[in-house]
Amino acid sequence: MPLRRLAREAWEVPRDLLLGRYPEFVTGGPLARGDVPVFVFHSLEPESFERKLRHLSENGYVALSAEEYFRVLVGAGAAPERGVVLTFDDGRGSLWSVGFPLMRRYGTKGIVFLVPGSTRSRPGPPAPTWEEVEAGRIPAEEVRRGETEEGSFLSWEEIDVLSRSGLFDFQSHTLFHARVHAGPALAGFVTPARRRGYAALDVPLIRDGDRDLRGEEIPLGTPVLESAPRTSEVLRFLEDPAVRRGCVEAVNAEGGAAFFQRRGWEARLRRLLGRRAIAGRRETPAEREAAIRTELAESKRLIEERTDKPVIHLAYPWHASGPTARRLSLDVGYRTAFGGKVAGVPITRAGGDLQHIARIGEDYLELLPGRGRVDLSTVLYRKWSRRLRARA
């Protein structure tokens, strides 16, 4: 993680405390009766995730299903004492290998916001789980490295098992979790690392003829321009395909993936691109509307077909939604939309805005009142230690 980003994120917690984006319990206060905090997870680490589930279990917290939480929000049912909601974005592979065995052990429910465009079928024996590690049948590393390459996301076969378990509700995180170019400014190039796993979700779509290429499909060396989430209001910048031709050809001619192991590879690609303005055009508002509608409607349709259950809840990628996306989400049949932290709304209550449901990160779960509660300084120390290790 670049130092500039680390510095920016160091200010995140104090800023959000000042803006009222954290519930009172985060700074040692109580959890008000009837309040149901919503936590968001991504990848799951066995020891950390079990510690959080144990904290919930030992202190009488109840994790709600999507239907139970929706009834609370619309006033059709009272919130249980110490109710919480656990949400999982992207449908990552560790939900199977780590999440499923531990949530089954603790009888905990969760809502998974799935990216069906990144979901594949993988017939055959199921992937190993943390239960097998605990039983001594496989080494821990075999599960820890499971969220790589092919196992980055849940398979449809795993989703079927999880859905039928009754512990997981599968809802929408849009079809492709897509980003699009927002303008002609160069931001980087497609490297081997950017085409793998979750990193591919951060690479903007590249138009190739009459279709869009996604992260893992995009040729190495393709210039990446400034970008924004597809569900934002930005009008996509469609660059002239000739812009990327020289860079892609050079990478192919000089070893493909090996090209990026040489010193100065980025400077070489920048020289090939030259200083001339990057040509292209803006999409029309009608094109933007059609693309966002597809992201929302196709995701809903595919998940419903696979799980045979209604999909009425949406989580916007990067918590980004423009007026067009918000209008279309209601039009195609979503009843709620989950975001991130919301200024002045630390917890969405019954009668609140169903299109901006507030969530906070999993790091803060152990700040919930009860035995074994930790303080904010401990949480922040763990969080920053993890980020610094990832940067090393």
- pLDDT for 121 equals 94
Report the length, in residues, of the chain.
392
Q: Is the dihedral of CA 351, 324, 9, 112 positive or negative?
A: positive
Nearest partner of 58 among 29, 32, 82, 30, judged by Cα: 82
Query: Does residue 10 surpass a pLDDT of 70?
Result: no
Burial class (CB in 10 A: 0-12, 13-18, 19+), 307: buried
Digit-coded pLDDT (tens) for 289-301:
999 999 999 999 9
CATH code that applies to domain 3-175+292-391: 3.20.20.370
Give, as one character, the DSSP assignment of residue 97.
I
| Confidence band, pLDDT 50/70/90 cuts, at residue 14 | confident
Running DSSP on this structure, what letter comes out for residue 329?
H
Question: Strands 110-114, 168-172: parallel, antiparallel or unpaired by DSSP?
Answer: parallel
As a whole number of angstroms, the distance between CA 306 and CA 121 comes to 11
Whole-number pLDDT of residue 9: 61
The predicted pLDDT at position 4 comes to 60
Burial of residue 310 (number of CB atoms within 10 Å: 0-12, 13-18, 19+): middle
pLDDT at 383 (0 to 100): 82
How does DSSP classify residue 319? G
State mean pLDDT over 363-378: 96
Q: Is the dihedral of CA 204, 6, 197, 38 positive or negative?
A: negative
| Range of weakest confidence among 3-12, 168-177, 314-323 | 3-12
User: Which position has the higher pLDDT, 4 or 251?
Assistant: 251
pLDDT tens track for 164-218 = 999 999 999 999 999 999 999 999 999 999 998 889 999 999 999 999 999 999 9
Handedness of CA 277, 280, 285, 289 (dihedral sign): negative
Mean pLDDT of 10-16: 79
Domain ranges of the chain: 3-175+292-391, 180-229+241-277
